[in-house]
Structure 1
């Protein structure tokens, strides 16, 4: 089961532009096979363009979240490969919405 990062205050899952096995870019939830270590969290936040100076850039603002394979796939489906969308976990339910640029 994959792990992702959830922002503790908002429930938002960490997502950014990534590259798949076919070398194609896509916008999706950041996933790990094992619970990420602090340096992996820091690297993922930087890759997502979240600065340590931002409120959301503090490592302690994020927590590892274990997802089922189905939940991980559904989170990416809900993002629609669109960086203007975010996925949140609210009461165990994945919700997506568009955010202003």
Structure 2
């Protein structure tokens, strides 16, 4: 089963802009076939533009989590290729919210 990174305090799953095999940009979960190493996790946070000064920027607050292929597909569907959306996995349930606050 694939692995993703999850922000332990919030349950947020790490997603960012990536390129598919056709070099087309899309926004989706970062996934690994095996649990990511600390170096891979650090690189993933940098790729997602999460800096150490950010509230979620501490590598210690992230861990790897195994999800089923179905859960990953559903999380990506919930993201809708929209960087303003974040998906979280809490108590076995995927939920989505917008990271942009309306005024």
Instruction: Give the TM-score, by structure 1 length.
Output: 0.96
- Mapped partners of 1:90, 1:56: distance in 2: 17
Q: Structure 1's 98 and 55: CA in aligned 2 closer, same or farther, altered over 3 A?
A: closer
User: 1:38: which partner in 2?
Assistant: 38
Unpaired runs of 5+ residues, structure 1, are: none
Displacement over 2 Å in runs of 4+:
none
Corresponding position of 1:51: 51
TM-superposed CA distance for 1:29, in Å, is: 0.7
Classify the secondary structure of the residue corresponding to 2:56. Answer: helix
Q: Where do residues 65-80 of structure 1 align in structure 2 (5 Å cutoff)?
A: 65-80=65-80
Q: Distance in 2 between matches of 1:24 and 1:57?
A: 27
Q: Cα deviation per residue 1:44-69 (whole Å; 9 max; x = unaligned)?
A: 00000001222311111001000100
Q: How many residues align?
A: 101
Q: How many angstroms does 1:19 deviate by?
A: 0.6
- Report how far residue 93 of structure 1 moved: 0.4
CA–CA distance in structure 2, aligned partners of residues 34 and 80 of structure 1:
25
User: Which segments of 5 or more consecutive residues in structure 2 lack a partner in the other structure?
Assistant: none
Match of 1:82, SS state, is: coil
TM-score (norm 2): 0.94
